[in-house]
Amino acid sequence: MMAVRTDHDSGRVLIVDDEPDFVANLTDILNDVGFEAEGTSDPYEALRWAESRDYDAAVLDLRMPGLDGLGLHDRLRRARFDMPTILLTAFADSETHRRASAAGFWQILEKPCRIPTIRSILRRLTRAPLLLVVDDDAEFCTNLLQILHQRRIRAVGCATVAEAIERWDRRPADLLLVDLKLPGESATDLIRHARRSDPDVEVRIVTGASLADESERRALHEMGVDAIWSKPLDIEELLATIPAIRETKQGADDC
C-alpha cells in the first residue's frame, strides 16, 4: 500500500494497474499535488479496500491478470461502490471503447498517457457533485443509480437511515434524496444529522404517499427539506437540480 495524505481537498483516488512502477509513480505524484491516492496491482485487494473506504474516483487498467479492468469495474458497481472511473488501455480499438462506454467508464485513455492529463481529469471528476440516495426499495434505488451513472453523475445508495448516516459521516454528499417512509426508521433523523454537519446540503424528499396535510409539509420545510417529490420520480426534474449544485460546489472549491 502506498503512502497516503490525510487531507481530502482534492478527493480520494483508487489506482489499480498490474505495473507496480506505474502505480507507485502515479500515486506519489497525485499525493504531491493534493489528492489522497492509494494504489495496488491486485484488483482483489482493490475490492477489499472499497468495502471499507470511500473513493471519489478510480483509475483502472484494462489488461490485468485474474480480473481485468472491465470486470473490476463491474464488481465495484454491483457492490454499489459507484464512483467516476477512468480506464487505461494500450488496446484502445473501437470495440474496447464501445464496451468501456457501455460499462459506464467516465473516461478512456490510451497508454502511454500523460500524467498531467490524468490529473486534470481527476480534478474534474472529484469536484463533481455527489448524490446520496436513501430508499428501502432496492429496485427503485438500483434503477435510479444506474440512470445517474449513465448520465455521468456521482451517486451512491443506502437502504437504511443507519447505513446512510454511517456513509454520510465518512463522506458527506452534496444532495440528499431520501424516501420519507422508511420501515421502522425516521427519515427526519437523517435530515437533521445531515443539516447539522452541512447547513447548505440540498435535501429532497421522495414519497409514494400524498402529503395532503399542509402542516406536515410545513414541518418538513422548516426542518430544511428543499423540495418534496412524489413517486414515480421525475428524473428530468432531479437532473435539472445538478447544474446549480455543481456551480455552487465548484465555487466553494475555488475559494
Q: What is the distance between the alpha carbons of residues 125 and 140, in angstroms, rounded to a whole number?
A: 25
Residue 3 pLDDT: 33
Beta strands in the chain (DSSP E): 12-16, 36-40, 57-61, 85-89, 107-110, 130-134, 154-158, 175-179, 202-207, 227-230
**pLDDT score recorded for residue 254:** 56
- Separation between Cα atoms, residue 225 and residue 119, nearest integer Å: 36
Instruction: Report angle CA 81, 86, 135 to the nearest 5 degrees.
Output: 25
pTM: 0.80
Q: What is the domain partition of the chain in residue ranges?
A: 12-126, 130-247
Cell matching residue 64 = 490485468
Fold of domain 12-126: Rossmann fold (3.40.50)
Domains 12-126 and 130-247 fall in the same CATH topology: yes
pLDDT of residue 90: 87
Q: Which residues contact 28 (CB under 8 A, 6 or more apart)?
A: 2, 3
Estimate the crossing angle of helix 94-103 against helix 69-78, to 10 degrees: 10
Q: Which CATH architecture has domain 130-247?
A: 3-Layer(aba) Sandwich (3.40)
Q: What is the DSSP letter of 157?
A: E
Question: Residue 170, exposed/middle/buried by CB under 10 A (0-12, 13-18, 19+)?
Answer: exposed
pLDDT tens sequence for the chain (255 residues)? 333 333 344 789 999 999 999 999 999 999 999 999 999 999 999 999 998 888 899 999 999 999 999 999 999 887 766 689 999 998 878 888 888 888 889 999 998 888 899 999 999 898 889 999 999 999 999 899 889 988 889 888 999 999 999 989 988 999 999 998 898 888 999 999 999 999 989 999 998 776 657 788 888 999 999 999 998 999 999 999 988 887 776 665 555
